[in-house]
Amino acid sequence: MARSVNKVILVGNLGQDPDVRTTPQGTPVASINIATSESYKDKSGNWQDNTEWHRVTLWDYLADSASRNLKKGSKVYIEGKLQTRSYEKDGITRYVTEIRAVQLVLLDPSSNSGSYEGGGSPSYNQESKAQNGITEEDLLSEDDDDDIPF
């Protein structure tokens, strides 16, 4: 029997600074809008640009990372899943489909200032952080020389 898959991968730019809130239980949540663009030739042979906007929510550790590291125009890689939720406004039930992020990678050249395993851009992963108990300070620590025996 085949399993189903709900996976979204985006590489794009933030349209505005992250909107960070805290739930009544104290859990941080950030909302960001990411623009992805593509170019194509129309029937007349003219180049056309098409921009799509994607609503992304980041929870807990990812929301904290977004609030500290992202701003309007930031280039990011987001991995997550589609999630639909409903709410009521003025007696009307409304539905929102958004991407719930599980991984955030900062792609801006200025975000490469830290020391990260693998030598690439900083990467924040909600699942691995929860499983391994890794904090952002662990990822950003440059004092890794303590364990070197010489």
- Check pLDDT > 90 for residue 122: no
Q: Could you tell me the fold of the domain covering 8-130?
A: OB fold (Dihydrolipoamide Acetyltransferase, E2P) (2.40.50)
Burial label for 10, CB within 10 Å (0-12, 13-18, 19+), is middle
Reported as a pLDDT band with limits 50, 70 and 90, residue 24 is very high
Domain boundaries, the chain: 8-130
Q: What is the pLDDT of residues 33-53, one digit of tens each?
A: 999 999 999 999 999 999 999
- pTM of the predicted model, to two decimals? 0.69
Q: Which two tokens stand for residue 71?
A: 């701003």
Residue 105 and residue 59 in contact, taking contact as beta carbons nearer than 8 Å: no
- Check pLDDT > 80 for residue 74: yes
Reported as a pLDDT band with limits 50, 70 and 90, residue 136 is very low
Burial label for 122, CB within 10 Å (0-12, 13-18, 19+), is buried
The pLDDT assigned to 109 comes to: 78
